[in-house]
Structure 1
Amino acid sequence: MVILLGWMLALFPHVACKTHIIKCNVRDPHPPLHKYHQSGDVIIGGIASHSFIISNALTFTVEPPQALLEELAVVTKNYQHILALAFAVKEINENPELLPNVTLGFHIYDSYFIARGTYHGTMLLSSTPERFVPNYKCDLQNNLIAVIGGLDPLTSLHMATVLDIYKIPQHCYHNLENMKGHEEFGNTDKLSRWTWIGLLTMDLENGERFVQMVVPLFLSSGICFAFIERFLKLTLVTELKDLLQQGAKIHDKVMGSTANVLVTYGESYTILFLRWLPYLSEVEGKMEDTRGKVWIITAQMELTSLVYQRTWDTQIINGALSFTIHSNVISGFHQFIASRNPSITKDDFFIRDFWQQAFACVFPSTVGGEVDGDICTGEEKLPSLPGAFFEMSMTGHSYSVYNAVYAVAHAVHSMFSSRGRHRHMVDQRGLSFQNQQHWQLHHFLRNVSFNNSAGDKVSFNRRAELVAGFDVINWIFSSNQSFHKVKVGKMDPCATSDQVFTINEGAIKWHNWFNQTRPFSVCSESCHPGSRKRMKEGEPFCCYNCIPCPEGKISDQKDMSDCCICSDKTYPNKNHTFCIPKDISYLSYEEPVGITLVFSALSCSLVTLLVLLIFKKHHNTPIVKANNRDLTYTLLISLLLCFLCALLFIGQPQKVTCLLRQTAFGIIFSVAVSCVLAKTVTVLLAFIATKPGSKVRKWLRKRLANSIVFSCSLIQAANCTLWLATSPPFPDVDMHSVIKKIILECNEGSLTMFYCVLGYMGFLAIASFTMAFLARKLPDSFNEAKFITFSMLVFCSVWLSFIPTYLSTKGKYIVAVEVFSILASSSGLLGCIFSPKCYILLLRPELNNREQLIIRRI
């Protein structure tokens, strides 16, 4: 991305802002080895990153020699950046409409990837060619208007330190990384599931800034880092031992990690180091790991190769995905670079070293004595070079250089057009340009907007950055080391939110190790629906175990952090993957349990009615009259109502049935138990009254029994009235007791009053049982007391069993338990008390006489 840097205040106040013109013959004492000049009325400067000067670190015990042996390593691919600048100047000079009657020239120097070379080359740009006098121009031959460079951030920073003093505009063609695209690579919807990645950066300030920028972005997108490694920067003096040790360490970390995706950030030449990794590991005596990785290469980095890496295996980066600065086909550029030849190219001091290292040959004139190796003829063809050494199509960085030159030309055109000086320049070219101040061009550069020859729009945003996006390129290496770049996606910051990042996954060719299946890079396998993630203690959040969802919860997606609770009207399926609507449930008349209970209630009611009719038919017989027949009829009628009362508990709960079922049952059952208590008391008093002189006889009248029944029943009626007045039962819906059911029920309102009603009936039952138990051995006729004892024993057993069963049962079966308890206890009273008497009345009528009654009492 081309970046327009603003100017700064002068760093050194003693340097005059006005250019001084003097005559001098001082030459540069250390002229740079690599330079490329073309004269013109207006000069564009360029700082290229073309060569490394490599020296071995030596320890001296005596004074060192005057010069040390240095080796030059050319990054041959970067030569295209120089050619892009020269080609753009050529096109502009051939265009009569852009800068008419004005020729554009350039001065290009090599930075050698070091600060010393950058500062030296930048100072030379502002000085007279061949005469290096800082802060002065010795003649009018250097009308420097702007500078293009550098390739890497540090190079640009070092250039700005000098150029800011003179307020000379600077165009940088390195890339300020836009992390939106890299973040999207972890998006499952965009590509593969890449949530577990490694990060490699160069150990520089901008590398650390990259880490601080990218880590929060990735973490917020659910992406974790298996490791973050920093590798050394290649410097003028490189310690081979340190390089070997670190390279082997990084290789082991990369190949030993479970992360299949690696994000790499570095300078333009970082790929040189990556290609070293397998060999550095071998030097350390370790076997090379053939495990494949998906390398995500940031836009600053290019596939480059040094001369001695020509035959090195490239499989380590095969299938890499690279963000590249957007480029387009520029007409004529291919022919321009194909015509380059060191024998006919003048003033280009880059090309000979480029040619020798690109084609692995030597020009005889550059060495003395016998030549060891191939001889360069100068007729070698650039298209025959592998892609790692040189590309014929314009790269992203070269495209940025090309656009930067045109941006300067358009700005110069606008600057002079605004002052109407075109005609004046025809006669006084040099003086007109010399009178222009560098800083005046900044305003016009910021407002540049044009379409280049490829049809792409070139303009700058508020941050003086070129408004452009990235292409996503798939690096493919064939078995013969040939290199192909396939565009598989793009990132367009001007597109709509859903089109900012697009990628064609089907067009990607992965590393051979993946067998062309889509690679995954996760710390833990996905948790399937029906389970959730549980973090592993002490590890990143991408590493987890999968545990099933608990009862009542579901997870309907992969990798859910927690399970969801179904709504009140739904419940989880067997696999806990989705919610199923609950069925409505209540004790209905149609289901088997309801039918059975209804049949039992009606059958018991019919039996009770028959017993009542039998007793009514034998109304005046001694056995009916013996135990207060009115009390007997009251007991039978109350039992009949108890059986019928059970029907109130069956069917969908309604407001009326909810109000009546417990209160009616409580009162009616209390009447029945009160009758039993009254009969028991009558038996005891009857025995006591037979003793001579007993005063109890007067209590044997009917009013005693009636008083017992009335008073005991009245207390229960008061309890029920208080219940209905304070917190009456009401129809309710229970969503939670049974997971798969919505229970329609009667809410008891006040559980305290409910248990008071049941407790009072229990009290009456226990009182009756106690009285009957005490009277069980009395010489009573027909063993009335024994029968009452048995009946109350059954009654108490039923209701004592009812309480724990009631509390442990859920749903409609709670109602079934209560109905069963009503029917069982009522049947116990009916059977134990009245079955012996019915036996005599129907089958042994001869025992139903007064004489027999007196004999039994004696």
Structure 2
Amino acid sequence: MRFALEEVNRRYDLLPNITMGFQVYDTCAALRKEMVATLQMLAGQTEAIPNYSCQKTSRLAAVLGHSLSMTSIHMAHMLGLYRFPQISHYSTSSALSDRTQFPSFFRTVPSDSFQSQGLAQLVLHFGWNWVGLIATGNDNGIQGIQVIKQEILKAGACVAFTEFIQSNLLDKNIPFLTKVIKNSSARVVVIFSNDLFFALLLDEMIKQNVTGKTFVASETWSTSTILLADKYSTLLAGSIGFAFHSSTIPGFRQYLTSVRPSTLENNLSKAFWERMFGCKFNDTKNVSGSWNGPTKICTGNEDLQGVENVYTDVSSLRSSYNIYTSVQVIAKALHDLYECEEGRGPFYRRSCASIKHFKPWQLRHYLQNVHVQLSNGREVLFDRNGDLPAVYDIVNWQLGLDGVMKQIKVGSYDITAGDGNFFTINIGAVKWATGTSQVPISVCRQSCPPGFRKAAREGEPVCCSQCVPCPQGAISNETDSVECLECSWDTWPNSQKDKCLPKTTEFLSYEEPLGTTLTATSAMSSTIPISILGLFIHYKNTPIVRANNYSLSCLLLVSISLCFLSSLNFIGSPQVEKCLIRQVAFGMVFALCISCILAKTVMVVFAFMATKPDSSLRKWTNARVSYVIVLICSLVQFILCMLWISISPPFPEKNIITQPGIILLECNEGSPTAFWCMLGYLGLLSTISFVVAFLARRLPDSFNEAKFITFSMLAFLSVWVSYIPASVSTRGQYVVAMEVFAILSSSWALVLCMFAPKCFIIIFRPNMNSREHLLAKDKS
């Protein structure tokens, strides 16, 4: 303070021809003396006289102090009655920001409310979402820790415990607090307490062998020298927290080293000198109280330049810099009051205040609006609550190779940062208890990786939630996602469920082995009926061909060949035209095929029933009857198919429901009812043919034609009856493959059961292909 005042008084651009002085009141930390001293300052007398002021030779401009928040509150209540400016360099209680109760209180140190918010953000900055909170049980501690807790919970993190150290040095609750810390799974603990009370807790932690905890420090102990004791080193190594912003004051070290006992003239300065240089003044008795070595006479001119200790170390001034700032602020406010031009002033009728006769409330106005730029470039201006913008240093407690604990500045916290990034931390400079730069982990559970979401556990804090895999079709691409995101209809999660990939499309392709096999089988199979047809044409005049209705047999062979070829419509990418005709073509050619078989069966029955003399059924054995049966049966199927196409035609679609993760390119049948009616009609024709052939199986037919029809229809029906449950239980391209297989199997059943025996006789048993053999068989 003396240095700052002398610096102001030497300047010509600040309060010219006006000298600033000071008066010090040492109250010995006694509240009663502090109140008395406050009244003495207001009265300007050696006695405390309320509501009386006698300041003749000099004017009291402002009061600097107190350092303790509780004392500042009592002083501010008294000084506020008179709107007398009060500036504290160390009182951090957030209660002092209440302008209603403390209208003239200012401070050059940040409020605890800023610190509490900053400590919470520091915890969140390092990703700690499961922390413990310890604070002193006074108003400052309770208010400060509640703000920290609110900010942590608001950000989605959790508090493992909140405990308080009672405000006395005989706190019997310390062992219990230590057990809470030891048994908690939280590895990070915020300590909002001063160093004396925290030391009690550390002593008990040493007794109970508590390890593996990282402490977050409030400014009240982050730069403590008491806690630098070796016994605390293993516990406090790696601690990190806030400290008052540090800076240097140009010329201050030279000023300190130029001090001589003669300039101070008090017993404390002589005691300091004797301890510093290990000497003794002639006119004093061992005032230092601790020097027992050889007596050396102090001259008072010893040089402090070569001394290196806490007194001469001005590299990181904190509270001292706040005092320096307070003096600069008052000087600038007085200068602004001094330079006021009448008629342009801030008071009634634009008046100004006189520098010799100003009122306390008038200086308070200038203090509220002061704007000072300090030597380090920092701008100082108060907000409406008398607080400065919060700027803190972030300090890290590091254990050196020599075993000595050091408090290293590793960053800063500045709420005036324009980009909103309040933290500036050199992560590489931070060392944790492990001696590395790896940030310790303090979570109730490990983070949920991408592909999972957080789900609350009943009866536990939200931070202790469990990780649940994202459901089918959803992803999470961030750590600790609260919910999973659904993929779009044409995308699907990858195996890690952290990104959506385009779905694969699937259909029965010609290029795939299954599609290639079915295509080749269909094409080759279609040649078999044509070959048999050629054989029948070549042997059309032989008894076996003529006896089996040559014309119907040729039509049946052509229709079977078309049945084989109709399966090709089901292979390949579904197109509009292909979807429209494939089931219709399948239904029509099979209807034609079964109609031919039905006609053959009916004609066999009519032929034997007409052998009786004067039978009226002889006229039904004409070949035209068989053609009418084929035409009528095929026409009914044709009408069903035309109605289907007209009302609800099949169309290609992308099926994303049947197989998750795959887009099935398939033909939607349009009307399932129409499809099953078409298939059911085929079943009806087949059943009629089967029943009629079965009833006629014992007729003396040549080469057992009725029996062959019975076997062929039995095989045909067996294939399609089996197809129904198989198609229902199959998915994707295999549904189409199943239908193709059913077409091929049923077609082969007709070829083998009806034509294989005849071909065998024609080719390998020509002696049986004769009229004599036919008649002999008939006779037998």
Identify the residue that residue 274 of structure 1 maps to in structure 2: 198
Q: Quickly say closer, same or farther: Cα 1:692–1:571, change in 2 above 3 A.
A: same
1:759 and 1:204, CA in 2 relative to 1: closer, same or farther beyond 3 A? Answer: farther
Please state if 1:259 is matched with 2:186: yes
In 2, the alpha carbon distance for the partners of 1:774 and 1:208 equals 102
Distance 1:342 1:252 in 2: 52
Within 2, Cα distance between the matches of 1:715 and 1:514?
A: 90
Match of 1:603 in 2: 524
Contact 2:594 2:686 in 1 (8 A): yes
Structure 1 residues 172 and 699, CA gap change in structure 2 (3 angstroms): farther
Preserved contact between residue 257 and residue 312 of structure 2 (Cα < 8 Å): no
What is the one-letter code of the residue matched to 1:185? L
Amino acid of the structure 2 residue aligned with 1:144: L
Per-residue deviation at 1:597?
1.4
Whether the aligned pair in 1 keeps the contact of 2:129 and 2:443 (CA below 8 Å) is yes
Match of 1:805 among 726, 729, 735: 726
Residues of 1 paired with 2:662 and 2:62: CA distance? 80
What do the CA deviations read for 1:317-339 (whole angstroms, capped 9, x no partner)?
A: 33322223323210233344456
- 1:361 and 1:536 map into 2 onto residues whose CA distance is 70
Residues 369, 534 of structure 1: alpha-carbon distance in 2 compared, 3 angstrom cutoff: closer
| SS of residue matched to 1:230 | strand
Q: Does 1:147 align with 2:63?
A: yes
- The superposition leaves residues 656-689 of structure 1 with CA deviations (integer Å, 9 ceiling, x where unpaired) of 1111111111111112122222222333333433
In structure 2, what is the equivalent of residue 46 of structure 1?
none
Distance in 2, matches of 1:453 and 1:561, equals 49
Q: Counterpart of 1:92?
A: 8
CA deviation digits over 1:787-835, x for unaligned, max 9? 1121112112211222222223233222222111111111111111111
Matched, 1:754 2:675: yes
**Pairing partner for 1:317 from 203, 223, 236:** 236
In structure 2, the residue matched to 1:63 is none
The residue number in structure 1 matching 2:247 is: 328
Contact 1:530/1:576 (<8 A) preserved: yes
Contact 1:272–1:304 (CA<8 Å) still a contact in 2?
A: no
Tell me what 1:195 maps to.
Answer: 129
Aligned position for 2:21: 105
Matches within 5 A, 1:93-492: 93-109=9-25, 119-137=35-53, 140=56, 143-173=59-89, 174=92, 175-176=110-111, 177-178=113-114, 181-186=118-123, 192-234=126-168, 240=170, 243=171, 245-266=172-193, 270-281=194-205, 286-289=207-210, 291-299=211-219, 301-304=221-224, 313-337=232-256, 345-346=264-265, 392-393=314-315, 395-418=317-340, 435-467=357-389, 469-478=391-400, 484-492=406-414
| Aligned equivalents of 1:498, 1:148: Cα separation in 2 | 33
Does residue 840 (structure 1) correspond to residue 761 (structure 2)? The answer is yes
Q: Give the SS at the match of 1:135.
A: coil
Deviation at 1:539, TM superposition (A): 2.1
1:766 aligns with 2:687: yes
Matched-pair contact (CA < 8 Å) for 1:247–1:281: no
- How many angstroms apart in 2 are the aligned matches of 1:550 and 1:119? 69
CA contact (8 A) 1:570 1:580 kept: yes
What secondary structure, in the 3-state scheme, does the structure 1 residue paired with 2:410 have? strand
Q: Is the 8 A contact 2:15 2:338 kept in 1?
A: no
What is the RMSD of the two structures over their aligned residues, measured on CA atoms?
4.0
Bigger relative contact order, structure 1 or 2 (CA pairs below 8 A, ≥6 apart):
1
Residues in 2 aligned to 1:302 and 1:358: alpha-carbon distance in whole angstroms: 27
CA contact (8 A) 1:645 1:665 kept: yes
Q: 2:645 aligns with which of 718, 721, 724?
A: 724
Distance in 2, Cα, partners of 1:311 & 1:587: 78
User: Where does the alignment leave 5 or more consecutive residues of structure 2 unmatched?
Assistant: 93-109, 344-352
Give the residue type in structure 1 aligned to 2:763: L
Partner of 2:664, secondary structure, is strand
Please state whether the residue corresponding to 1:436 is helix, strand or coil: coil
2:214 touches 2:239 (CA, 8 Å); kept in 1?
yes
Check the 8 A contact 1:128/1:142 in 2, yes or no: no
**Given that residues 275 and 291 in structure 2 are in contact (C-alpha distance below 8 angstroms), is that contact kept between their aligned partners in structure 1?**
no
Distance 1:659 1:362, change over 3 A: farther
How far apart in 2 are the matches of 1:361 and 1:121? 36
Q: How does 1:49-60 map to 2 (within 5 A)?
A: none
SS for the counterpart of 2:22 is strand
- CA 441–711 in structure 1, closer or farther in 2 if over 3 Å, else same: same
SS of equivalent to 2:61: strand
Query: Which amino acid counterpart does residue 522 of structure 1 have in structure 2?
Result: V
Relative distance call for 1:694 and 1:645 in structure 2 (3 A) is same
- Residue identity (%): 40
Q: Shift of the alpha carbon at 1:99?
A: 2.3
- Classify the secondary structure of the residue corresponding to 1:225: strand
Q: What is the Cα deviation at residue 510 of structure 1? A: 2.0
SS in 2 for 1:136: coil
Question: Is the 8 Å Cα contact of residues 506 and 732 (structure 2) preserved in structure 1?
Answer: yes
Deviates more, 1:246-255 or 1:822-831: 246-255
Moved more, 205-214 or 224-233: 205-214
Find the partner of 2:424 among 491, 497, 502.
502
Residues 233 and 405, structure 2, Cα contact 8 Å, conserved in 1: no
Aligned to 1:58: none
Quote how far apart the aligned CAs of 1:116 are.
5.1
* 8 Å Cα contact 1:194-1:261 kept in structure 2: yes
Report the count of equivalent residues. Answer: 744
Q: Distance in 2 between matches of 1:117 and 1:758?
A: 109
Output one character per residue of 1:578-637: Cα deviation in whole Å (capped at 9) or x when no partner. 444444433232332222112211211111101112222333433333343332222222
Describe the shift of the 1:230–1:166 C-alpha distance in structure 2 as closer, same or farther (beyond 3 A).
same
Q: Quote how far apart the aligned CAs of 1:415 are.
A: 0.8
Superposed counterparts of 1:643-654, under 5 Å: 643-654=564-575
Query: What is residue 70 of structure 1 aligned with on the other side?
Result: none
Distance in 2, matches of 1:384 and 1:400, equals: 25
Query: What is the deviation of 1:567?
Result: 4.2
- Tell me if structure 2 keeps the 8 A contact 1:649–1:661: yes
Using the TM superposition, give the Cα deviation of residue 457 of structure 1 relative to its aligned residue in structure 2, in angstroms.
Answer: 2.2
Gaps of 5+ in 1: 1-84, 422-430
Per-residue displacement from partner, 1:403-455 (whole Å, max 9, x unpaired)? Answer: 1221111111111221579xxxxxxxxx9666321101122112222222333
Q: Which amino acid aligns with 1:414?
A: D
SS, match of residue 723 in structure 1: helix
Contact residue 119 and residue 241 of structure 2 kept, 8 A? no
Contact 2:393 2:409 in 1 (8 A): yes
C-alpha distance in structure 2 between counterparts of 1:758 and 1:570, whole Å: 36
Cα deviation, 1:295-322, whole Å, max 9, x if unaligned, reads 222345553356x996753443333222
Partner of 2:96: none
Q: Is the 8 A contact 2:83 2:364 kept in 1?
A: no
- Local SS of the residue matching 1:295: strand
